């Protein structure tokens, strides 16, 4: 099918060097680093009217799972004015932060820091949804519609974020006012007020934070609180110092060089690196339950925590509420759980944005319909599309568990900037981990030279060969 082309004049249009689509933390990091690159004309567009980072999960007391140095710029350029420390200076909070001695920020403070940067960066435009992206072969440029305005660009970076996952078992209850994703938690928490039985599904950080918040806010009114997860154990996030080296450029390079089938298997197996809850949050849940049962039996509170329990089907109950058909993973035993409300803390996934439809035929998709992404985060395309199309946080299958991690955001942005400009805008380290992830280079012994033959004695030389 021919790629539909937008109408355009023959005159070469004025174009940006770089157009960023979406303004989450990753493209905001790219905008912050690009802000100081002389001669680079960049524009970043976001559909929302202002920067918002997981607003439904800015629960009081919730903290980041990465240190404050995982800000927009510091792990690439700590002298950059868009660093978190410079934000603190601007807010007159350096001394309070110093005395707080907190390496991990409150989620609310990280969100406020990002909004501080987004509101001041001149290359960021909010309320400007990019609805179409075309490739014009004559001009060798991308043409986008951003907020209804025509924008031309040599390179495009997609940072449109991820979408909440609603498990197939709950497909029949999609849109029900008492079944919703944790991404909406703060906005819809009040809708749980009349529920006397609440079930949280999912064992990651979001599930742990929702369950902890419900314990704090609903634990004394007799409401039954239930936490289900098909994961066999509520194991904490891997946070050992050497384990964290999986979130380094070294591991990303190693992972990218593996076969696709191996990469897919590793992403599933490494759930404890990027999908588990923090040990601190799990400890808070345990401490709260311990204190609540002083002087009473352990089962005095109407609280259930059930790992290794998969919800295979969810139905509307005959007398209101819901019936969850559950299967115990190890024994295979089935049970029906009746509940009044369900919060799905079931994660997020990258999806193909509709704005790519006009150029979809020019993208080299893999066998599963995913982007093929180079080590520099550039999407593989057909030869006639000569512009650079890059992605952020849509390459878990090619770059591994560090893809959604904020600690690698600034590094990825610097890699993209170096690729877009064709020069070393930011010098990046060649070694970032003590761990050697790749197999050792096989030892090949040097060839042993043959022993030298003795020189012939005078008078014993062989006769010359004649033709």
The residue among 53, 42, 24, 14 whose CA lies nearest residue 161 is 24
In a domain, 269, yes or no: no
Domain extent for 302: 166-237+276-346
The structure tokens listed for 369 are: 């319909």
The 10s digit of each residue's pLDDT in 437-453 is 988 777 677 777 766 66
Distances (CA, A) of 28 to 159, 216, 361, 389, 391: 9, 34, 29, 17, 13
Instruction: Verify that 113 and 172 share a domain, yes or no.
Output: no
Distances (CA, A) of 114 to 27, 121, 161, 411, 431: 11, 11, 15, 17, 29
The shares of helix, strand and coil residues in the chain, as percent rounded to the nearest 5, are 30, 20, 45
Number of domains in the chain: 2
Span 287-294, mean pLDDT? 92
Mean pLDDT score of the chain:
92
Query: What does the pLDDT read at residue 167?
Result: 96
pLDDT at 251 over 70: yes
Instruction: Verify that 210 and 355 share a domain, yes or no.
Output: no
Instruction: Verify that 45 and 115 share a domain, yes or no.
Output: yes
Instruction: Verify that 361 and 411 share a domain, yes or no.
Output: yes
| Range with lowest mean pLDDT among 9-13, 352-356, 450-454, 461-465 | 461-465
In a domain, 336, yes or no: yes
Instruction: Verify that 407 and 372 share a domain, yes or no.
Output: yes
Query: What does the pLDDT read at residue 440?
Result: 77
Instruction: Verify that 105 and 136 share a domain, yes or no.
Output: yes
Sheet containing 322-328: which strands, arranged edge to edge?
309-316, 322-328, 334-339
Measure the CA–CA gap between 156 and 387, rounded to whole angstroms.
Answer: 8
In a domain, 253, yes or no: no
pLDDT at 459 over 60: no
Instruction: Verify that 298 and 379 share a domain, yes or no.
Output: no
Question: Integer distance in angstroms from the first to the last C-alpha of the chain?
Answer: 69
Contact 327, 182 (CB under 8 A): no
> If DSSP states are collapsed to H, E and C, what string results for 291-330?
HHCCCCCHHHCCEEEECCEEEEEEEECECECEEEEEEECC
Domain containing 342 — which CATH number?
3.50.50.60
130-136 and 141-146: which strand pairing? Answer: antiparallel
The 10s digit of each residue's pLDDT in 56-108 is 999 998 999 999 999 999 999 999 999 999 999 999 999 999 999 999 999 99
In a domain, 22, yes or no: yes
């Amino acid at each position: 099918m021919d790629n539909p082309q937008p109408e355009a004049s023959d005159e070469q249009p004025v174009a940006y060097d770089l157009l960023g689509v979406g303004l989450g933390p990753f493209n905001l990091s790219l905008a912050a680093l690009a802000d100081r690159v002389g001669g680079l004309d960049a524009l970043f567009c976001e559909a929302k009217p202002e920067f918002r980072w997981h607003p439904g999960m800015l629960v009081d007391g919730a903290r980041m799972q990465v240190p404050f140095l995982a800000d927009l710029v510091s792990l690439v350029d700590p002298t950059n004015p868009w660093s978190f420390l410079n934000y603190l200076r601007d807010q007159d909070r350096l001394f309070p932060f110093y005395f707080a001695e907190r390496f991990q920020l409150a989620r609310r403070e990280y969100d406020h820091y990002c909004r501080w940067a987004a509101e001041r960066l001149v290359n960021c435009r909010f309320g400007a949804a990019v609805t179409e992206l075309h490739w014009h072969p004559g001009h060798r440029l991308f043409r986008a519609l951003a907020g209804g305005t025509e924008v031309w660009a040599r390179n495009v970076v997609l940072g449109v974020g991820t979408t909440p996952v609603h498990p197939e078992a709950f497909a029949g209850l999609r849109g029900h006012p008492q079944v919703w994703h944790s991404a909406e938690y703060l906005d819809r928490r009040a809708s749980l007020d009349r529920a006397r039985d609440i079930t949280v599904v999912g064992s990651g950080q979001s599930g742990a934070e929702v369950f902890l918040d419900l314990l704090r806010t609903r634990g004394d009114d007799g409401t039954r609180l239930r936490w289900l997860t098909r994961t066999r154990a509520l194991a904490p996030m891997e946070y050992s110092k050497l384990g964290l080296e999986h979130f380094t450029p070294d591991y990303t390079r190693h992972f990218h060089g593996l076969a696709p089938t191996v990469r897919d298997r590793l992403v599933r197996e490494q759930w404890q690196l990027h999908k588990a809850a923090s040990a601190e949050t799990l400890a808070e849940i345990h401490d709260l339950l311990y204190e609540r049962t002083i002087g009473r039996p352990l089962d005095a509170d109407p609280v259930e925590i059930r790992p290794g329990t998969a919800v295979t089907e969810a139905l509307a109950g005959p007398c209101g509420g819901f019936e969850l058909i559950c299967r115990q993973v190890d024994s295979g035993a089935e049970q029906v759980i009746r509940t009044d409300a369900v919060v799905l803390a079931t994660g997020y996934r990258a999806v193909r944005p509709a704005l790519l439809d006009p150029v979809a035929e020019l993208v080299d998709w893999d066998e599963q319909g995913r982007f093929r992404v180079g080590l520099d985060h550039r999407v593989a395309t057909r030869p006639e599309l000569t512009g650079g199309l890059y992605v952020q946080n849509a390459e878990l299958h090619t770059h591994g568990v560090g893809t959604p991690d904020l600690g690698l955001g600034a590094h990825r942005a610097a890699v993209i900037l170096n690729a877009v400009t064709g020069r070393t805008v930011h010098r990046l380290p060649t070694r970032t981990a003590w761990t050697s992830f790749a197999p050792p280079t096989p030892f090949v012994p040097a060839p042993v030279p043959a022993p030298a033959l003795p020189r012939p004695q005078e008078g014993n030389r062989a006769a010359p060969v004649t033709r």
